[in-house]
Structure 1
Amino acid sequence: MKSRRLLWSALGAFVFLIAIGGVWILSLPAAPSVAAPPPIAQDERDATIAALKPPKRQRPLVAIIGINDATETTDYLMPYGILTRADVADVVTLATAPGPITLFPALKVEPQATIAEFDARHPDGADYVIVPAMSRDDDPEALQWIRNQSGKGAIVIGVCVGAKVVGDAGLLDGKRATTHWYSVKELRGKHPSMRYVEDRRLVVDDGVATTTGITASMPMSLTLIEAIAGRDKAKAVGREIGLPEWDARHESDEFRFTRPFALTAIGNTAAFWAHERLGIELKPDIDEVSLALVTDAWSRTYRSQAVTFARTADARQTRNGIRIYPDQVAASWPAERLLPSVGNRKPAEALDDALHGITARYGTRTTDFVAMQLEYPRRRATQ
């Protein structure tokens, strides 16, 4: 009798929790409508470019910092790949400590220097410091180094939730800023004097720039190229990467925590028996931007994890000199779980292809779910 009462009590508690969860999910808004945001005024564009002009060198030095145990994949690799491709600046990837960086949600790379080595080589500091999202916003070495670089005159750019790191470094107080839609409330709560700017993918204020979610680092990189080398150069690089037109416009209301988003996260996580490891071959000279976008997208479905493989455990060098370690040593991968080769696809097109592939494999709700995490406008993702 006692065991039966315990069983019914446990069952009742479970039903109660389900009911509470159901009420919470029903309280969430439905998917927002998609509306094209108004164009950016020319004087605002001009002010943004002027604020991002190189502060020190004619050929600027760009440092991208990460922490070794977890730094966001696309935030770290996309600015490097695009800026290096443009050849308008010297770009270096850094880590707070020696050894590889484990990126999330995919890839493992070898940084080109530690922050200590960078400081020894460049005591006057960088022109630009790019700060990706990190697993910890309060890493003391990263925060102190970012403060020091700002003090030496560098323009600090917080990509996505990297804005939280920039904020914890004390650089957002009293400034206009933005961040990934999911972290806006947290950032404003921690830094009440910060002025959040809606409907902009890139915000610049007095030596500090911030962006919205992950894919915003693509237009941010092109805007930085324009500030360094002019509009024509930026447009040429934009065509090469598949983004011939860009600006800071952004429909913030398109990105919010919705009922379909929550239900997809719960449903895809719960279907644990159908989770997959999808292989992508890590070939020499692969484009690091395309690889980052594709593995990032497929690893955010909550149904799959993108896994790189190669015949040996040696790191492979990408098109622009990043060394990436394969996740698994294998000569091949089962055909039904093999992702298409990145090949020579332009990065923006490679991401679109990945989203189309996700739709074919898991449906449109999962594609929307991934695009929402990447803060990628769905009007483009569903074309």
Structure 2
Amino acid sequence: MKKIGLVVFPGFQVLDLVAATAFELANAAAQRPVYDVHLLSEGGGLVTSSSGVRVETERFADPAFDTVMTMGAMDVAPSTPGLLAFLNKARAASRRTASICTGAFVLAEAGLLDGRRATTHWAFARNMQQQFPKIKVQEDKIYIVDDDVWTSAGMTAGIDLCLALIEADLGVEISRTIAKKLVVYHRRTGGQSQFSALLELEPKSDRIQTALAYARENLQKDLSVESLAEVARLSPRQFSRAFRSETGQSPAKAIENLRVEAARIMIDEGEHPIDIVARETGFSDPERMRRAFLRAFGQPPQAIKRAARLRQVA
């Protein structure tokens, strides 16, 4: 059985404990006890979160775990020497070390991120880079894996991190099953931006939201105004007018942004030729995708692909 240590401290963010649920669901999906989850703290006993919710914990002892994961906090504060000492011991004795959200600051204080790529909540990323210049902070990533050290962005990105950990252990089907039970899309890739084209649109009505959700899940299909209007159960004219009113964009521009976002993720993963990326994300040909990338990023897909390769080597 894989022993999981979730590390908390006074003022931790209780949402990060969704990690415990992800591992619990993994046991259910695998139909066997794969993970043994322990909630840990320096002093043991009850620990109070930033919201005032108190959780029962075990005192630091044996540092040997399969995975030790540090929770984050709403406000970043210096860690205690005891916490940092335990994490260093656990790093040496365990298979994997991870953090959710600003838990990366705790790993950074312990020196566990020196020379590594890491991420954290976007609002704290630049501060982290300034405080810890030895870390290669990538502020616009959902999660990053650098050897056996995993870090994630803030809040719900911890779910993506846990799903990725579980997928590495048990396979993609188990991970998908858990995502369905958590009622989330199957995990976002690590290279995906913390910001989403859908979040920027923020439609107000259910009909426009439904059309956009359909578009994101069907990028390879015809996503003309007529087809999206049919999904929204509106006439093309009504749909175009409502869409622009609610999002500030034309349907064509919004679909292009969704396709560019999906293409950028595939390119950042570094595993797909440009023509395959264009086809999989609904661009009719690589040239059309190139023009869309120039409008969105000011550089072609090939330049972004080269940069992604350099990051992987660094």
- Whether TM exceeds 0.5 here: the answer is yes
Render the CA deviation track for 1:72-111: whole Å, top value 9, x for unaligned.
1111x11011112211311111111132110112411112
Is 1:187 aligned with 2:128? yes
For 2:5, give the aligned amino acid: A
Render the CA deviation track for 1:50-82: whole Å, top value 9, x for unaligned.
xxxxxxxxx321100112x2211111x110111
State the 1:171 CA deviation. 0.7
Partner of 2:230: none
Partner of 2:97: 156
Partner of 1:86: 26
For 2:39, give the aligned amino acid: T
State the 1:216 CA deviation. 0.6
CA contact (8 A) 2:69 2:97 kept: yes
The match for 1:239 among 180, 185, 188 is: 180
State the 1:242 CA deviation. 0.5
The match for 2:111 among 170, 179, 185 is: 170
What is the alpha-carbon distance in structure 2 between the residues aligned to residue 70 and residue 101 of structure 1? 8
What is the alpha-carbon distance in structure 1 between the residues aligned to residue 117 and residue 26 of structure 2? 28
Partner of 2:215: none
What is the alpha-carbon distance in structure 2 between the residues aligned to residue 167 and residue 245 of structure 1? 29
- Equivalent residues in 2 for 1:246-285, closer than 5 Å: 246-248=187-189, 249-252=191-194
Partner of 2:69: 130
Q: Aligned pair in 2 of structure 1 residues 205, 188: CA closer, same or farther (>3 Å)?
A: same
Render the CA deviation track for 1:286-317: whole Å, top value 9, x for unaligned.
xxxxxxxxxxxxxxxxxxxxxxxxxxxxxxxx
State the 1:252 CA deviation. 4.1
What is the alpha-carbon distance in structure 1 between the residues aligned to residue 148 and residue 105 of structure 2? 16
Give the structure-1-normalised TM-score. Answer: 0.47
The root-mean-square deviation of aligned C-alpha atoms, in Å, is 2.3
What is the alpha-carbon distance in structure 2 between the residues aligned to residue 198 and residue 103 of structure 1? 25
Structure 2: runs of 5 or more not aligned: 28-33, 198-314
Is 1:229 aligned with 2:174? no
The match for 1:115 among 60, 64, 78 is: 60
Is 1:105 aligned with 2:60? no
Partner of 1:65: 7
- Equivalent residues in 2 for 1:300-319, closer than 5 Å: none
Render the CA deviation track for 1:248-276: whole Å, top value 9, x for unaligned.
24334669xxxxxxxxxxxxxxxxxxxxx
For 2:67, give the aligned amino acid: Y
More RCO (CA 8 Å, sep 6+):
1
Question: How many residues align structurally?
Answer: 190
Q: Aligned pair in 2 of structure 1 residues 184, 244: CA closer, same or farther (>3 Å)?
A: closer
CA contact (8 A) 2:125 2:138 kept: no
State the 1:184 CA deviation. 0.8
CA contact (8 A) 2:95 2:148 kept: yes
What is the alpha-carbon distance in structure 2 between the residues aligned to residue 155 and residue 101 of structure 1? 24
